[in-house]
Amino acid sequence: MSGLDNRFLRTPREQRSLTQQSLFRLLFLVMTSLLVVPVFGILLVLIVRGGPGLSLDFFLDKPRKGMTAGGIFPALIGTLWLTSGALLLAFPLGVSAAIYLSEYARDNWLTRTINIAIVNLAGVPSIVHALFGVGAFVLFLDFGASILAASCTLAVMTLPVVIVATRESLQAVPHSFREACWSMGATRWQTIWRLVLPNSGSGILTGVILCISRAVGETAPIMFTGAVYWVAYTPEGVFDQTMALSLHLYNVSTQVPNVPPGLPFSVALTLIGVVLVMNATAIAFRMRLRGRKRW
């Protein structure tokens, strides 16, 4: 009986494997915690120091007394204008480029060059995008310093994110699905529109989420192309200038004297809140699309 029991005992090799597995699991848990703990720490500091300054008047009032008092309403509305404009420009262009590269383009030197250019564009510093926006949109296209010029600059900056996320999502759809459609007589575009895009919508929305997150928080591109230090009004059109939360946060943190200690933290907390609300909306749509997936 004891010989039979010994057959079920772990060998030294199995024990070493289990020990290594436990150690790697602990290592990955520690690494994950190192990423998550700072995020919660930042949120905790912002809530503790900036939360008391949040009120309805803070959201609906304009800055007063040299931006040492009042609220952030023009900056809040301006941020929504800039982010919406960038998304409306980057989304159709990015998705169209991804569809071409994934579904139509052949693997040759031109497409490889385009792919390299997209990767390089994603690594260009934001200040370089700002200077490009000044030259291309403010001066050459004569948009002037405006919401349109700033939105175009943000769109160019976020295009690589949308293209890469969309292309990866399109390529994740099994090729056998396309072949089944083609064998039924569907054209390439009918296959893309009726089958590929509906089944890659969740991945495309991932690119939208990343686009929103980056566009809301950028300062340099909008500082030179359309955002201003202070205005008392909200924009009425795309050729107006506007305040923005990211630039306003920079100003009250570094440029404005005698600012109440909690004001920059309240602005930062609002900025993060705007990002979370926009991302949560996109995530809700993404989850809905995932529920309708056919595979």
Report mean pLDDT in 10-residue bins for the chain, 295 residues: 57 82 90 87 92 91 87 92 93 92 87 87 88 94 93 93 90 86 87 87 83 86 91 87 92 89 92 88 78 62
Strand spans (E) along the chain: 63-64, 69-70
pTM over 0.95, yes/no: no
Count of other CB atoms within 10 angstroms of residue 101: 19
183 CB-near residues (< 8 Å, 6+ apart): none
Residue 51: DSSP 8-state: G
The answer to whether the CB of 238 falls within 8 A of the CB of 85 is: yes
Res 137: pLDDT? 95
- Taken in order of first residue, the domains within the chain and their CATH numbers are 75-245+254-287 (1.10.3720.10)
Both structure tokens of 212: 């929103």
- Vertex 156, ends 155 and 161: CA angle to 5°? 80
The answer to whether the CB of 185 falls within 8 A of the CB of 117 is: no
Res 178: pLDDT? 87
Res 36: pLDDT? 86
46 CB-near residues (< 8 Å, 6+ apart): 265, 268, 269, 272
Distance set, CA 94 to CA 85, 158, 208, 242 (Å): 14, 9, 10, 26
Res 293: pLDDT? 63
Res 8: pLDDT? 59
Distance set, CA 199 to CA 170, 203, 262 (Å): 8, 9, 46
Res 94: pLDDT? 92
The answer to whether the CB of 146 falls within 8 A of the CB of 226 is: yes
- How far apart, in whole angstroms, are the C-alpha atoms of residue 67 and residue 61? 11
